[in-house]
Amino acid sequence: MNTLLIIGATSTMASNCARLWVTDSKKNFEKVVLVARNKEKLSVIANDLKARSANKIEIKELYADFSDENSVIQLCDEIKQEEGEFTTVLIAHGVLSDNTKCRDNYHLISSSITVNSTSVAILLESIVAKMNKDQNKSNIGVIGSVAGDRGRASNYIYGAAKGFVEKYVEGMQHFLALTKSRIKITLIKPGQTRTAMTANLDNSKFAPVEVVARDIVKAVNHGKKTVYTPYKWKIIMTVIRWIPSFIFNKINI
């Protein structure tokens, strides 16, 4: 069974990607497995996808608390038991940490790291193990962030977690290449995007989520190693990475 798995399915970015995949006749998914923390929001997304597919695709809902490692491990067990082959996977869950609040509350630091990095690593290992066992040609997309490219005062806790994800994905890409696996993993680095996660910011000049979703789907479908979206962020972050420290430390960005 040709199956699509989306983790963090209630995020604006992930739900837009799901709509594109479900309505893509070339992918011809028979089943979609959606994972999120909020049951009510997930039900809305599931019903929307059913309508878009004219009820031709089986939709299954799973739930997990990504800030709880035991809940994530339990989710991994549920995923391993799913029938059919995961031919496309998107790992898109996360939380935008507030650096100021985290500095005053160490529990928030721990929760942010668990949600944004630890849970991603655990899930990725589980999903890749299942895919390798099935020996099918599969593509995985993992949402990272341009915030992981260089530590900055404004978001270094979130950025550190996303930096971990980048190195983890890079290492796993190397592992899959050495083992001649048929799995391709794409690291996705969105820049500032208009989503529910950024709703509390002045996001009027951020990229439309529909544009970012199209870039994500295209990159994952083609098994690209890394994609910045919108593309301008590749240029911006290249410049930021190469700014010498003695200059960088005088700039508030």
3-state secondary structure of 53: coil
pLDDT in tens, 53-63: 888 899 999 99
Coil, helix or strand for 208? strand
Instruction: Give the separation between CA 38 and CA 62, rounded to whole angstroms.
Output: 10
CA distance 142 to 113: 16
What does DSSP assign to residue 86?
A: E
Backbone angles phi, psi at 48, to 5 degrees: -65, -45
Buried/exposed 189-215: b ≥16 CB within 10 Å, e otherwise: bbbbbbbeeeeeeeeeebbebeebbeb
Task: Supply the pTM of this predicted model.
Answer: 0.94
Note the pLDDT tens digit of each residue in 16-54: 999 999 998 888 899 999 999 999 999 999 999 999 988
- Residue 151 predicted with pLDDT over 90: yes
Domain ranges (residues) in the chain: 2-248
* Tokens found for residue 76: 């991994």
C-alpha of 198 from chain center: 16
CATH code of the region 2-248: 3.40.50.720
Query: What's the 3-state SS for 134-201?
Result: HCCCEEEEEECCHHHCCCCCCCHHHHHHHHHHHHHHHHHHHHHHHCCCCEEEEEEEECCEECHHHCCC
Residue 22 DSSP SS3: helix
Q: What is the pLDDT of residues 157-214, one digit of tens each?
A: 999 999 999 999 999 999 999 999 999 999 999 998 877 767 666 666 788 999 999 9
- In angstroms, rounded to a whole number, what is the distance separating the alpha carbons of residues 123 and 196? 23
| Amino acid, res. 180 | K
